[in-house]
Structure 1
Amino acid sequence: MYQSMGAHPDEVNGIAGTRFAVWAPNAQEVCIVCDQNHWKHGEFYLNSSDAGVWSGFMPGVSSGDAYKFSLRGQNGEFFEKCDPYAFYSELRPKTASIVYDLENYPWQDEQWIQKRAETQWHDQPITIYEVHLGSWKRPKDGRQFFTYRELAKQLVEYVQQMGYTHIQLMPITEHPFDGSWGYQTTGYFAPTSRFGSPHDLMYFVDYCHQAGIGVLFDWVPGHFPTDGHSLGRFDGTCLYEHADPRKGFHPDWGTYIFNYGRNEIRDFLLSSAHFWIDKYHFDGLRVDAVASMLYLDYSRKEGEWLPNPQGGRENLEAIQFLKDANISLHGEYPGILTIAEESTSWGGVSHPVYNGGLGFNMKWDMGWMNDTLRYMHFDPIYRSHHQGELSFRMIYAFTENFVLPLSHDEVVHGKRALISQMPGDLWQQFANLRLLYGYQYTMPGKKLLFMGGELAQWEEWNHDQELDWKLIGLEKHDGIRRLIGDLNHLYRSEKALYETDFTPEGFAWIQCDDSKNSVFAFQRTATDTEEHVIVVANFTPVPRDGYRIGVPKPGFYHEIINSDAKIYGGSNMGNAGGVYSEKISSHGMSHSITLNLPPLGLLIMKPVSTPQKPAKKIAE
């Protein structure tokens, strides 16, 4: 629909101008208002069709010109609206749409797009850096924001250094209120003008692709704001939203909910999803608040919601929309990813539609995040009573294709930064955080970390200021950053840590019931079952000397990561680079190794044919 709706520069009979089209079936008349007609209603009328689409060609309006639609409603009232299909908008607090020609950007990412189409991401490493562009870094020259082009160079260099495979942008669709972080979108086809023009954003994505970095796009089809210039009551009636507030108004966020059962609205949203991948070459969508779309009673009390025709609480229209979106996106753009933020136990979110699923590639594992952080919040002396909170995850770990997220949601609204959530004295807080990250990177599932987590910044995220970059150079904070970099590079290089993220054959507990010592041990195995690593985690500050762990085969076990290493800010307790196995049975295996487990530490051990010196760390 974006090819015909909205504003498109054109030429008719040798006269340059712009074609306009907008859907407003209940309006009595629609005009274009702009500088050329002094923003007066009645100076340039659009013609209506039987489908309720108003269209026309206005001479003299060209790329860069601001405009709005001025509508007269059924009761004679006048109001101005921005273009639902606008490609560009004025910088807030202004709200007019801007004519923009998206064509003629010189893309240079053909190799990336071809490789993407040939990639099966389920058995590939995916480690995602979640970024809010407005607060990652800010310029020192008085400007509020860097441009997309400036951010491309700085961010790609940093992400490459840290070893991430993908950047995930929090919503950059146009939005009027900075404090919504982009989740209250007014422009479903317009990148926010805070950071520059549409071509500037294309440059950002192109630059990332040429550097081998994928870019995911945070997309919000679950709700939209009530701002007067936006989609709400667009032609004086409930057009994009349900008329009944029990289906059309979201009580948590004070926003409208799309009417997924109306074909024009489904086309609008499906077009938006395709648009960002088609025109901007994004590598996929992270779909926000899917749970709020699936349930009619989401965050509602009895009597505040309407059941579906079968009497159930499932939103059948939204479910069908999500299925249609995934079918069409994956059919047209092979190799892209769709990832659901879905916080309930809804079955089959990441299963194919033909198998009864919703068709997403992956789903955020909110259960892992909640259980793990709750466990980490306990003082280690009490963790022995909560062993099951970590081991429980493996009961359901392969029912979906999970991403393990430590996202922006965990460091806002008074929750504090991750380092501040860790118990104990200063040393234990940093050790606990290193242990948390090590555990995240070794459990089955793709990885996501919100910006700033790698710096161990003390203050929770504030969208109005940049990250606490002055922490770089401080030993303990640098240790966390080095560890994240090494975990990223190790995860990408060790098939056992990523090839079988979604299959039970790739994981086996070795020790999960030693609650007395709060020790966990498990094996990760690649598709080639000869390739595996052993992970051992000590969740107490008590060192464990001579702790015996069963291993699947004899040989030398190289210590490839020790979260307690000195370069990470730890006490440097370990195993001198590795240990030989012994023919002593343990944990149901005929061979075993004895390890010195560092306090609040995690070890990753890999069997090798011959002993070797520890590999030089990337961060060094």
Structure 2
Amino acid sequence: MNTIVNAPSMSIHHLIDTIIHNDPWLAPYRSQLTHRLIAIEARRQQLCHNQNELIDIASGHEYFGLHFRDNKWQLHEWAPNATAIFLVGDMNQWQISSEFQFQRIDDHGHWALQLPEDALHHGQHYRLHMIWHGGEGPRIPAYARRVIQDNQTLIFTAQVWHPKSPYQWQNQFKRPQVAPLIYEAHVGMAQEEGKVGTYREFTEKTLPRIQAAGYNTIQLMGIPEHPYYGSFGYHVSSYFAPSSRFGTPEELMELIDTAHGMGIAILIDLVHSHAVTNHVEGLGLYDGTSYQFFHEGGRGRHPAWDSCCFNYAKPEVLHFLLSNCRYWLDTFNVDGFRFDGITSMLYHDHGLGQAFTSYDHYFSHNVDLDALAYLALANQVIHRLRPDAITIAEDMSGMPGLALSTAHGGIGFDYRFAMGIPDLWIKYTKDIRDEDWSIVHLWQELINRRHDEKTISYTESHDQALVGDKTLIFRLADAAMYWHMNRDDEHLLIDRAMALHKMLRLVTLSTAGHGYLNFMGNEFGHPEWIDFPREGNHWSYHHARRQWSLADNPNLKYSLLNNFDRMIITLCKTYDVLRYSTVHILWVRDDDKVLAFERQGLVWVFNFHPEKSFTDYPIPAPAGEYEVILSSDDADFGGHSRIDTHVTHLTLPVEDSSIEGHPQRLHLYLPTRTTIVLKNRQYWSTQKSG
């Protein structure tokens, strides 16, 4: 495992020199960068006591909670403020009894209970009854692996889960070293019926769709148990229990195993930035104190999310969170994680109201070094256990070094989300007239990323689809989608919406640094918004579902958008577009609204002009023969077939010898609001022969 302090002091200086070489703007912050590396290593040594491996420290889930070993049941809990703990449930008619009383085994708040084999049985419901000075109450064990909710009373209980036949994994899977093309999905709303979908339905119905769409990675939302369905899974109560509202743990295993058999990696959202405040089914007052897992006082509550904030300085909390990382890898064979709410973790003020326009924001006293150290250690654990696993940081602040490996002095994430891009598309489609779009500004924002860190781009995620906001297609078309999405219905607003929907998604994918994400259903322009059952909508599931039939209906234009998405994903994989992050600008003009660039031997040309089509438009390009491999104007994609894709295009020399850059030009027909992709035959014949 990579360590820092144990290496000669020269190693730290070398790491910092490398970081600053990659980003000279970091030079004034050398001392702060050094301090961070030392703080990370100090925290690792505190946990390991210079003896244990960090991955062994991250195995608390094999000790705490309920386990059946050596023909007996073993239960262990950490509750330092408790004065007594009892197991109550079906096995003792929910009565407190000495037979089921835990014993305190040390001065650090560890408790233990052993029971004979016949004391508990698979499927029984149970809780802890926690007693502390001045109070008592029921609790769901912090490490519970199965938690269910009664449909009538809505009460949560833990469940003894010890099936006679454990799940037998069928597929040995190692994530391919390819750019992640991520399909963000939610199991519960992945079906068309107005209900909560299941793991098995997702396996049988949704996985084949994702496979056919060409995505190689699935990011599952809302897997750890959460009491409020409408939270999208971001107010977690039981960190080690896959949500039972979707089915059993074995059915989740089957989902992951089946995806692996299809060559698809599975990531899950890991929410270690905060926790639900609930007392019984959450960790809010687990042992009678608000500060067992969280900060004490106001620092322990998130002012915007009404949730609890973990204390990343506490070794026991780090044991809990690091074990949670390992648990999902060990038990469910997941292939990595998207860490949610990183910005909230990194800053004492949670980044609220911050614009992050200066590097000073990344190195002020506002930075939570304890959280930063935890994230670095979490990445060390994950990558030590699974070198092929990937971790993604959801950070809107732009913290330098976040997606730099720990071996190079970073925090260790493999990727970070380019979160400014969906905001860019909202701004342009909502606030700026088409004729006023600045293509120069668009280009600058699309490629604005840290070049020493890997990024994943997206036009929209689940955030833009939630009630109160609008999906990209709905922002472009609005109510016209209700009446004019039949294929034979010519409508100017729908025509514009579909043209831009295709262009914005393709320009985002083709300029992405190292990966791309799409939220479930957005690929075919799923209409309307997402709204989970709540009092305000009379507990309706109408908007908490995906209308796949729209994409399946060949008489609707949704099917055409679906065709286009499949084509661009196929193109991206066929030509390994995201293999290298370098994108070479060829042409950008605000007056013509034309953008052209070269990547991987392909020339990508976009005409964003709302009115003008251009004939014989000159585009600088490497010399050679080109063929059109994609036109957004094809009828199969809802276009008007104005581009002849069978024509071979030859570059012509520029007569003016003073012209800089490529002395050759492609002369192209560029209809309004279209994009074409051209393949350089010479480049790709060389690639094949090589």
- TM (norm. structure 2) is 0.80
Partner of 2:475: 421
Inter-partner Cα distance in structure 1 for 2:171 and 2:186: 24
Inter-partner Cα distance in structure 1 for 2:95 and 2:623: 81
Q: CA deviation at 1:153?
A: 2.0
Q: CA deviation at 1:610?
A: 12
Matched, 1:511 2:587: yes
Inter-partner Cα distance in structure 2 for 1:237 and 1:196: 33
Within a 5 Å distance, the mapping from 1:403-422 to structure 2 comes to 403-405=456-458, 406-422=460-476
Within a 5 Å distance, the mapping from 1:474-553 to structure 2 comes to 474-495=555-576, 497-501=577-581, 506-512=582-588, 514-525=589-600, 532-541=601-610, 542-553=612-623
**Matched letter for residue 443 of structure 1:** T
1:327-370 CA-to-partner distances (Å, cap 9, x unmatched) read 11101111000001010121011101232311000000012222
CA distance 1:401–1:299, shift in 2 (3 Å): closer
Inter-partner Cα distance in structure 2 for 1:127 and 1:20: 41
Partner of 2:506: 438
**Matched letter for residue 53 of structure 1:** H
Partner of 2:316: 264
Matched, 1:78 2:136: yes
Inter-partner Cα distance in structure 2 for 1:477 and 1:157: 18
Q: Secondary structure at the match of 1:369?
A: helix
Q: CA deviation at 1:397?
A: 5.2
Partner of 1:52: 109
Inter-partner Cα distance in structure 1 for 2:273 and 2:213: 33
1:416-445 CA-to-partner distances (Å, cap 9, x unmatched) read 121111277121011110111111221133
Q: CA deviation at 1:590?
A: 2.0
Partner of 1:615: none
Q: Secondary structure at the match of 2:179?
A: coil
Partner of 1:223: 274
Q: CA deviation at 1:476?
A: 1.8
Partner of 1:133: 187
Matched, 1:583 2:652: yes
Q: CA deviation at 1:581?
A: 1.9
CA distance 1:70–1:587, shift in 2 (3 Å): farther
CA distance 1:138–1:478, shift in 2 (3 Å): closer
CA contact (8 A) 1:252 1:299 kept: no
RMSD: 2.3
Within a 5 Å distance, the mapping from 1:167-182 to structure 2 comes to 167-182=218-233
Query: Normalized per residue, which structure has more helix?
Result: 2
Inter-partner Cα distance in structure 1 for 2:444 and 2:339: 28
May I ask how many residue pairs the two structures share in their alignment? 576
1:550-596 CA-to-partner distances (Å, cap 9, x unmatched) read 111222x1111111111000121224334322332376212211111
1:361-413 CA-to-partner distances (Å, cap 9, x unmatched) read 000001222224423443211114x6314323424352421101221001114
Q: CA deviation at 1:239?
A: 4.0
Moved more, 169-178 or 456-465: 456-465
- TM (norm. structure 1) is 0.89
Partner of 1:4: 63
Partner of 1:305: none
Moved more, 466-475 or 127-136: 466-475
Inter-partner Cα distance in structure 1 for 2:155 and 2:307: 20
CA distance 1:587–1:414, shift in 2 (3 Å): farther
Partner of 2:38: none
Partner of 2:75: 20
CA distance 1:610–1:64, shift in 2 (3 Å): closer
Partner of 1:606: 679
**Matched letter for residue 523 of structure 1:** E
Question: Residue 63 of structure 1 is aligned with which of 115, 122, 139?
Answer: 122
Inter-partner Cα distance in structure 1 for 2:219 and 2:279: 30
Within a 5 Å distance, the mapping from 1:222-261 to structure 2 comes to 222-229=273-280, 230-261=282-313
Inter-partner Cα distance in structure 2 for 1:582 and 1:283: 45
CA distance 1:332–1:471, shift in 2 (3 Å): same
**Matched letter for residue 55 of structure 1:** A
Q: Secondary structure at the match of 2:114?
A: strand
Question: Residue 262 of structure 2 is aligned with which of 192, 211, 216?
Answer: 211
1:436-490 CA-to-partner distances (Å, cap 9, x unmatched) read 1111221133110101202212201234331123423243211110001111111
Q: Secondary structure at the match of 1:435?
A: helix
**Matched letter for residue 87 of structure 2:** I
CA contact (8 A) 2:343 2:351 kept: no
Q: Secondary structure at the match of 2:200?
A: helix
CA contact (8 A) 1:2 1:85 kept: yes
CA contact (8 A) 1:575 1:596 kept: no
Q: CA deviation at 1:245?
A: 3.5
Inter-partner Cα distance in structure 1 for 2:618 and 2:462: 38
Partner of 2:158: 97
**Matched letter for residue 467 of structure 1:** R
**Matched letter for residue 97 of structure 1:** A
CA contact (8 A) 2:183 2:218 kept: yes
Inter-partner Cα distance in structure 2 for 1:411 and 1:510: 34
Inter-partner Cα distance in structure 1 for 2:599 and 2:122: 55
